[in-house]
Amino acid sequence: MVQKKSKTTFVWVLSAALALTLAACGNSNNEGSDTGNKDAAANTGTNTKETTAPANTSSDKKVSITFQNIYPDPAAPSYKMVHELSEQYEKEHPNIHIELDTLNTDQQKVKLKTQAASKEVPDITIVNPAAQMKPFVDAGLFAPLNDMLGQNGLKDTYQSGLLDYYSFNDKVYALPDGNNIEVVFYNKELFEQAGIAKTPTTFEEMLQDVKILKDKGITPLAIGEKDSWTGSFLFMNILLRTNGGPGFLQDVQDGKRTFEDPAFIEAVDAFQSLVQAGAFPDGATSIDATAGGNIFKSGKAAMWVIGSWETGAIDASSVSGKVGAFQFPTVNGKGDPNEFMLAPGSAFAVSANSEHLQETMDFLNFFALNLPKKQFELKNAVGIGQKVDGDLKAAGYSDLAINIAGLFNQVKGGDLAFDNTMNPATAQVHLSSIQNLFVQKVDSAQVAKEHQSAFEANK
């Protein structure tokens, strides 16, 4: 079973001095090409050699490894990371071809379920932690990674406790790409245009800002709700507040409370007040997550409630230098702003039925060892799940990135996403129910009842 974590999970992500520990270089006996950014490398103050894969891929046998991933935006640093590392590996291993199967998040989830039903999981695929990946593990579809993690010091590159989210019965089944918090990004220029002098600290102030921005013809909150996880992720911030802290879903699972609890109904009402105030783009449910994010990154929306993993992508967009971030506000006076929705990343899992299991393990070992350094070079290291050593300011990171790093240091704890906590059947009802709120107003008691019925039917 997945082990529980302490509330201080994220405190160690970045120190107050913004010094991270780059552990991406692995075993010093590994020789690799030094293709890194010289300025960034100088700022790490550590061994900056790229790490090559173990030598047992030296066969001339032609092998194609399918790498399913969720980095579809060519402008985003993560897209460049996966392409550049794959190309580097192919160059160093001419007999290996990395076939990238790139999808947006919801497309990938649907495709993986279909592939899993026929036991044809790609060599490498993407999974989310805990409850979402458990059915795949129970079905024997993923290979345990413990032995591979022991190669080249890879296991020690991960932040303490992070692999627990991806472990069952002491076996690690996936390698996380991040360890993030959900924040509210905001466009300072659009706030100024609307005459908003400060960021909201209460939900009531946020709602008032939404109305001011709407009156000015500015989309208040960017979202792409065609991918239903986006609305749920935002909604869960509200529930975290109305509940007065983390643990509501755990209480439901433990039989201590039900979804018909006043805290849940209050959260539904607050969420619907955002929808009714016109906070989101017209036709939000027809826009996927990537397109929804681009509304903010192109300067057409004032706020975006999303994970800190978007920091690098925002810095690479046209609104670079105009964006700040703040904690989700209190709701009806409840909650602690320093409790966050936590996102211990999506993660890379290997098919237990891969025809090229050893080659796939070797490639993933190389990929994971080099990921932190590549992300640091691409100015995308804030929120990754591995240790990085470097001075963000000296390396040229933005004020936004340093702002986000500071928020990490204030984390007191929080909750995981709904679909990382509840069983898949209940989670699907939840995702559809929240998505429906974007198109019609529904009695909050009815929404709660739908959730409770789904939970009881799928215990």
Domain that holds residue 338: 180-342+414-457
Q: Is 27 a domain residue? A: no
Determine how β-strand 347-350 pairs with β-strand 175-176: antiparallel
| Residue 262, burial from CB neighbour count under 10 angstroms (0-12, 13-18, 19+) | exposed
Q: Is the pLDDT of residue 55 over 50?
A: no
| Same structural domain, 310 and 232 | yes
Using an 8 Å Cβ cutoff, are 100 and 313 in contact?
A: no
| Same structural domain, 281 and 299 | yes
Task: Report the pLDDT value the prediction gives residue 370, as an integer from 0 to 100.
Answer: 97
pLDDT band at 409 (very low <50, low <70, confident <90, very high): confident
Q: Is the pLDDT of residue 31 over 60?
A: no
Residue range 162-210, pLDDT digits in tens: 899 999 999 999 999 999 999 999 999 999 999 999 999 999 999 999 9
- H or E, element range at 192: helix 188-193
From start to end of 287-432, where are the E strands? Answer: 301-307, 323-326, 339-343, 347-350, 413-416
Using an 8 Å Cβ cutoff, are 70 and 104 in contact?
A: yes
| Same structural domain, 369 and 221 | no
Task: Report the pLDDT value the prediction gives residue 38, as an integer from 0 to 100.
Answer: 30
Residue with tokens 């974590």: 5
| Same structural domain, 305 and 420 | yes
Task: Report the pLDDT value the prediction gives residue 59, as an integer from 0 to 100.
Answer: 63
Using an 8 Å Cβ cutoff, are 175 and 348 in contact?
A: yes
| Same structural domain, 307 and 191 | yes
Give the chain's domain count.
2
Q: Is the pLDDT of residue 147 over 80?
A: yes
Q: Is 194 a domain residue? A: yes
pLDDT band at 410 (very low <50, low <70, confident <90, very high): confident
Check which CATH number belongs to the domain holding 451 and give it: 3.40.190.10
Residue with tokens 């004032």: 302
Using an 8 Å Cβ cutoff, are 99 and 87 in contact?
A: no
Q: Is 310 a domain residue? A: yes
Residue range 320-368, pLDDT digits in tens: 999 999 999 999 999 999 999 998 879 999 999 999 999 999 999 999 9
Find the DSSP H helices in 378-439.
399-408, 418-421, 424-436
| Same structural domain, 195 and 323 | yes
| Same structural domain, 139 and 155 | yes
Asked which of 21-30, 159-168, 200-209, 410-419 is least confident by mean pLDDT, the reply is 21-30
In order of 31, 80, 427, 430, 437, the CA distances from 419 in angstroms are 41, 28, 5, 8, 18
| Same structural domain, 185 and 172 | no
Residue range 289-310, pLDDT digits in tens: 999 999 999 999 999 999 999 9
In order of 71, 180, 312, 318, the CA distances from 13 in angstroms are 23, 9, 16, 28
Residue with tokens 């590159």: 157
Q: Is 405 a domain residue? A: no
| Same structural domain, 216 and 364 | no
| Same structural domain, 172 and 204 | no
CB hemisphere CA count around 126 (13 angstroms): 22
Q: Is 54 a domain residue? A: no
Residues across the chain: 459
Residue 412's region, left for phi above 0, alpha for psi from -120 to 50, else beta, is alpha
Q: Is 8 a domain residue? A: no
Q: Is 449 a domain residue? A: yes
| Same structural domain, 244 and 192 | yes
Most confident of 2-11, 18-27, 244-253: 244-253
| Same structural domain, 76 and 143 | yes
Q: Is 6 a domain residue? A: no
